[in-house]
């Protein structure tokens, strides 16, 4: 009896905290550190006022603070350099930031997993084995370029055993545009001889009705993973559509980018914490300033570009093919390759 009351109490407190955090998020002052993790305001000398100033400058969490210079923090927060230095040191201490030894680093890389795309060409473009866990892979391109089809194919492939290019895991599909098609999943699953019902049951689909809802769904996914769901892939199709539709005025661009940045940040954190692959799709817009080449750029600009570990530009190619180009990858050449959208999903050749 006593124990259950205690439990209920904990749940109640948790709920109250969640509500408070949600309310804060709506004001745009929220902090995505939840569930007992250290916050920026836990640092001595950093109160809510300074935290708000930092956030306005794009520093949301301990990591952001830990990598600042004392002079920059002193400027931003209006505190002396000695206080700033202490705060940064405290943040570094709490983050255990410093050097990971080679063994630790290798171990962390060891459990990185890969999900095959169905096309050897596309896998090679991405470094050999497809889409990577602990990373954010973005595909941007015009309508019909294959962004959603790649997402659907990955949602099936992640369920395969490791030796067949999967991770024995489930997929989450966040659908912002109502483009998820169970029938299409069936086709792809049957194309590889899998049980379509089983495959469909391993894809958790949520329709996100607006950007706030889309953001809140991250908490839900984190909860599912903590509850033991073997989720290995999270697909956001589309990452930017709601943001783009909701923040239309010129004066709203900064707000949009701020919110999008925070969202991307929590996506990356989810990928890193739970060893999950994140695949997002993104639209293009005409870039009238560009005179040569393909006059399209991705929505979300630098903010999305910086967050993406792998960024691919998809477009239609010759004879019904699709062309994927890797953009600004830190460790891979900016190559181009060809693939096809087929009945059975993404393939190297037309069927
Ligand atoms: P938007 O979401 O509109 O921006 O486009 P997208 O890039 O997500 O396009 P999507 O991935 O939905 O690609 C649509 C294309 O996939 C179609 O034009 C077809 O070429 C192809 N496609 C879709 N379903 C099938 C299918 O069952 N068989 C074949 N062969 N191709 C298909
Ligand atoms: Mg689409």
CA of residue 187 to ligand 1 center, whole Å: 13
Q: What is the residue with the minimal CA distance to atom 28 of ligand 1? A: 343
Predicted confidence (pLDDT) per residue in 178-193, tens digit = 999 999 999 999 999 9
Domain segments of the chain: what residues?
2-95, 108-347
* pLDDT at res. 5: 39
300 lines ligand 1 (CB under 6 A): no
pLDDT(14) > 50? no
Position 25 scores a pLDDT of: 38
CA–centroid distance, 298 to ligand 1, in Å, is 19
- Where is pLDDT greater, at 53 or 202? 202
Q: Is the pLDDT of residue 28 over 80?
A: no
- Least confident segment among 5-19, 25-39, 257-271: 5-19
pTM: 0.76
Q: Report percent pLDDT > 90 for the chain.
A: 58
Lowest mean pLDDT among 77-86, 159-168, 190-199: 77-86
- CA–centroid distance, residue 237 to ligand 2 (Å): 7
Once rounded to an integer, what is the mean pLDDT over residues 269-285? 93
Distance CA 191, CA 185 (A): 10
336 bridge partner residues:
325
Extract the tokens encoding 232.
């290995």
Residue 1, pLDDT score: 42
What is the per-residue pLDDT across 290-319, written as a single tens digit (0 to 9) for each? 666 666 788 887 888 888 889 999 999 999
Report which ligand 1 atom has the smallest distance to the Cα of 342. 30
**27 confidence band (pLDDT: 50, 70, 90):** very low
| CATH superfamily of this structure's domain 2-95 | 5' to 3' exonuclease, C-terminal subdomain (1.10.150.20)
Average pLDDT, the chain: 85
Is 339's pLDDT higher than 90? yes
Give per-residue burial for 283-310: e unless 16+ CB within 10 Å, then b.
bbeeeeeeeeeeebbbbbeebbbebbbb
Contacts 24+ apart (CB under 8 A), 73-81: 77/46, 77/50, 77/53, 78/50, 78/53, 79/45, 79/50
Provide the greatest CA pair distance for the chain: 73
Instruction: Check: CB of residue 94 under 8 Å from CB of residue 193.
Output: no
pLDDT of residue 99: 63
CA-to-CA separations, 72 to 31, 60, 80, 95, in angstroms, rounded: 21, 15, 11, 19
The strand pair at 277-282 and 310-316 is best described as unpaired
**Of 177, 140, 148, 137, nearest to 284 (Cα)?**
140
Mean pLDDT of 200-222: 96
| Long-range own/partner contacts, residues 289-298 (CB < 8 A, 24 or more apart) | 296/142, 298/138, 298/140
Q: Which CATH class is domain 108-347?
A: alpha beta
* Weakest-pLDDT range from 74-78, 170-174, 243-247, 275-279: 74-78
258 pLDDT above the threshold of 80 = yes
What is the rounded average pLDDT of the residues 195-203?
97
Among the bound ligands, the one closest to the CA of 322: 1
Q: Tell me which residue has its CA closest to atom 17 in ligand 1.
A: 144
CA distances (Å), origin 310, targets 127, 168, 172, 281: 10, 22, 19, 12
Q: Which atom of ligand 1 is nearest to the CA of 177?
A: 2
pLDDT of residue 285: 83
* Dist. CA 135–CA 275, nearest whole Å: 9
Q: Is 153 in the pocket of ligand 1 (CB under 6 A)?
A: no
- What is the per-residue pLDDT for 100? 66
Q: Which atom of ligand 1 is nearest to the CA of 343?
A: 28
Which tokens belong to 245?
């539709």
Asked whether residue 34 carries a pLDDT value surpassing 80, the answer given is no
Look at residue 201 and tell me whether its pLDDT is greater than 70: yes
Residue where the block lists tokens 């002079």: 71
Quote the pLDDT of residue 116: 98
């Amino acid at each position: 009896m006593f124990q259950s009351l205690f439990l209920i109490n904990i749940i109640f407190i948790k709920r109250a905290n969640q509500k408070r955090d949600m309310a804060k998020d709506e004001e745009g002052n929220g902090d995505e550190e939840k569930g007992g993790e250290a916050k920026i305001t836990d640092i001595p000398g950093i109160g809510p006022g300074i935290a708000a100033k930092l956030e306005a400058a794009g520093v949301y969490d301990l990591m952001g603070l830990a990598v600042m210079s004392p002079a920059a923090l002193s400027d931003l927060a209006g505190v002396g350099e000695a206080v700033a230095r202490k705060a940064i040191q405290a943040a570094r201490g709490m983050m255990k930031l410093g050097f990971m030894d080679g063994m630790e680093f290798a171990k962390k890389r060891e459990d990185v997993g890969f999900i095959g795309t169905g096309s050897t060409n596309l896998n090679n473009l991405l470094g050999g084995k497809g889409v990577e866990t602990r990373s954010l892979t973005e595909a941007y391109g015009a309508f019909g370029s294959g962004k959603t089809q790649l997402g659907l194919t990955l949602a099936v492939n992640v369920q395969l055993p490791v030796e067949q290019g999967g991770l024995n895991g489930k997929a989450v599909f966040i659908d912002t545009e109502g483009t998820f098609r169970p029938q299409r999943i069936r086709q792809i699953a049957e194309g590889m001889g899998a049980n379509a019902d089983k495959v469909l049951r391993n894809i958790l689909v949520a329709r996100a009705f607006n950007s706030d809802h889309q953001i809140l769904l991250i908490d839900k996914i984190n909860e599912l993973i903590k509850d033991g769901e073997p989720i290995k892939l999270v697909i956001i199709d589309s990452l930017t559509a709601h943001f783009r539709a909701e923040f239309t005025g010129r004066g709203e661009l900064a707000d949009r980018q701020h919110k999008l940045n925070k969202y991307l940040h929590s996506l990356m954190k989810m990928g890193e914490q739970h060893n999950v692959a994140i695949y997002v799709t993104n639209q293009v817009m005409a870039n009238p300033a560009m005179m040569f080449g393909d006059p399209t750029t991705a929505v979300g600009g630098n903010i999305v570009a910086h967050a993406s570990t792998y960024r691919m530009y998809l477009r239609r190619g010759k004879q019904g093919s699709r062309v994927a180009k890797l953009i600004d990858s830190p460790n891979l050449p900016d190559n181009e390759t060809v693939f096809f959208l087929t009945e059975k999903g993404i393939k190297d050749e037309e069927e």
